[in-house]
């Protein structure tokens, strides 16, 4: 197992030079493009890692899985999916035009930015910090790591620059797809994106989803089995932005990526498998990470499709 991880990371490293770190959030531009690590967390909670496993990244879009799981837990499936679709989007993650173009004017799925912002608005919190704490708590329970925290420098950096997310938030309100105070909701959103974690945290989170919602490290049922199933299904069809179809061919199991360079994979009833590697491909996915997962999928026979 360790050998497989090491070998896969080495293969991933060989193409890091073709990627680049995200620059639209200034703090992310400081990440180390040469870092790469992988981790595997089995159903017994045992976690193995390889590569630059000390690397910390911010979860960015991976947090959308946690906040959606929380919303499904609190509000129920029916309420959530009356407000946001479950279909893949062919557009970039921050696209707005489909919201105007086609009725119903609601986000295509909860894993694009507009959908994730809307999901946050459904949570029954009026205080942005309470809302953030609920998502952070969910992520701590998914990872079994009580020490997860927001990187406030990154959070501030997102807040300063994220005009596109503001545009999405106000648009959603203008078409009555969303209620609530946009700035307040975005404040939680920017901070949940900036939650910092390691590759082992991500592997544990993926393992929790793989294990029907039960964290294999702590034994806690973080999500009901149905919620875990929905999250895995959405990760399979929409988890890697407009590279989801390519990932299904190359890797073949549910996963969610973030522009911080993390990818959280979940092989049902088998394992959580994760990578971190801040150098991104053109679609915003960790370029070395996808390559690493592709090799692991083959060498460890993780493919489910």
Assess whether 61 carries a catalytic annotation. Answer: yes
How many residues line the site for a second copy (CB under 8 A)?
Answer: 47
CA 136/CA 156 separation, integer angstroms = 17
Q: Which of 222, 259, 275, 290 is catalytic?
A: 259
The answer to whether 29 contacts a second copy (rule: CB under 8 A) is no
CA diameter of the chain: 53
Q: Shortest distance, CB of residue 141 to a second copy, whole angstroms?
A: 22
Q: Which is nearer to a second copy, 57 or 231 (CB)?
A: 231
CA–CA separation, 297 and 294 (whole Å)? 5
- Residue 87 in contact with a second copy, rule: CB under 8 A: yes
* 108, 111, 131, 139, 183 from 170: Cα distances, Å: 17, 18, 19, 27, 9
Distance (Å, whole) CA 215 – CA 58: 21
- Rg from Cα positions in the chain: 17
Residues from 256 through 275 that contact a second copy (CB under 8 A): 268
Q: Answer yes or no: 64 catalytic.
A: yes
How far, in Å, CA of 31 to CA of 22, rounded?
9
CB-based burial label for 216 (10 Å; 0-12, 13-18, 19+): buried
Q: Which of 250, 238, 264, 230 is nearest to 305 (CA)?
A: 250
Which one of the spans 2-10, 53-61, 129-137, 249-257 is the region binding a second copy (CB under 8 A)? Answer: 249-257
- In whole angstroms, how close is the CB of 47 to a second copy at the nearest point? 23
Q: What is the number of residues in the chain? A: 305
**Residue 244 binds to a second copy (criterion: CB under 8 A):** yes
Closer residue to a second copy in complex, CB, 136/302:
302
**Taking CB under 8 A as the rule, does residue 5 contact a second copy?**
no
Based on the shown chain and the rule CB under 8 A, indicate whether residue 97 belongs to the binding site for a second copy: yes
Shortest distance (Å) from residue 54 CB to a second copy: 32
254 near a second copy (CB under 8 A):
yes
Residue 164 in contact with a second copy, rule: CB under 8 A: yes
243 binds a second copy (CB under 8 A): yes
The closest of 62, 50, 57 to 12, measured between CA atoms, is: 50
> Based on CB atoms, which residue is closest to a second copy, 148 or 240?
240
Considering the candidates 64, 83, 159, 256, report the single residue annotated as catalytic: 64
Nearer to a second copy, 104 or 219 (CB): 104
Residue 101 within binding range of a second copy, rule CB under 8 A: yes
Query: Given CA atoms 140, 302, 286, 121 in this order, what sign does their dihedral have?
Result: negative
Contacting residue, 132, 203, 238, 279, with a second copy by CB under 8 A: 238
E strand or H helix at 49, and its extent? strand 47-51
Task: Give, as one character, the DSSP assignment of residue 300.
Answer: T
Residue of the chain from 173, 220, 221, 299 that contacts a second copy (CB under 8 A)? 173
Contact at 8 Å (CB) between 42 and 208?
Answer: no
Catalog residues that contact a second copy under the rule CB under 8 A: 85-91, 95-98, 100-101, 108-109, 163-164, 166-171, 173-174, 182, 229-230, 232-234, 236-238, 242-246, 248-249, 252, 254, 268, 303-305
Q: Which residues are catalytic?
A: 61, 64, 189, 241, 259
């Amino acid at each position: 197992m360790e050998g497989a991880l090491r070998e896969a990371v080495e293969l991933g490293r060989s193409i890091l030079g073709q990627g680049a770190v995200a620059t639209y959030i200034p703090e992310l531009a400081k990440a180390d493009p040469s870092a790469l690590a992988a981790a595997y967390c089995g159903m017994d909670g045992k976690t193995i890692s390889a590569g630059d496993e000390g690397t910390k990244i911010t979860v960015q879009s991976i947090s959308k899985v946690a906040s959606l799981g929380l919303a499904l837990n609190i509000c129920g499936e029916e309420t959530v999916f009356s407000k946001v679709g479950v279909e893949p989007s062919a557009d970039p993650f921050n696209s707005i035009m489909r919201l105007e173009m086609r009725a119903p004017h609601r986000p295509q799925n909860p894993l694009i930015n507009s959908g994730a912002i809307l999901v946050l608005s459904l949570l029954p919190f009026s205080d942005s910090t309470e809302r953030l704490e609920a998502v952070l708590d969910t992520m701590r329970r998914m990872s079994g790591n009580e020490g997860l925290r927001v990187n406030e420098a990154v959070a501030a950096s997102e807040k300063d620059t994220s005009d596109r997310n503001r545009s999405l938030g106000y648009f959603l309100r203008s078409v009555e797809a969303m209620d609530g105070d946009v700035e307040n909701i975005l404040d939680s959103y920017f901070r949940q994106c900036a939650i910092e974690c390691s590759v082992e945290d991500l592997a544990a989170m993926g393992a929790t989803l793989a294990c029907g919602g039960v964290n294999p490290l702590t034994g806690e049922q973080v999500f009901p089995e149905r919620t875990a199933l929905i999250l895995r299904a959405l990760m399979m069809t929409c988890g890697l932005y407009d590279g989801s179809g390519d990932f299904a061919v190359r890797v073949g199991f549910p996963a969610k990526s973030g522009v911080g360079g993390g990818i959280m994979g979940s092989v049902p009833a088998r394992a959580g498998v994760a990578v971190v590697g801040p150098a991104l491909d053109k679609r915003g996915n960790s370029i070395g990470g996808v390559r690493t997962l592709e090799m692991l999928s083959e060498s460890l026979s993780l493919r489910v499709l």
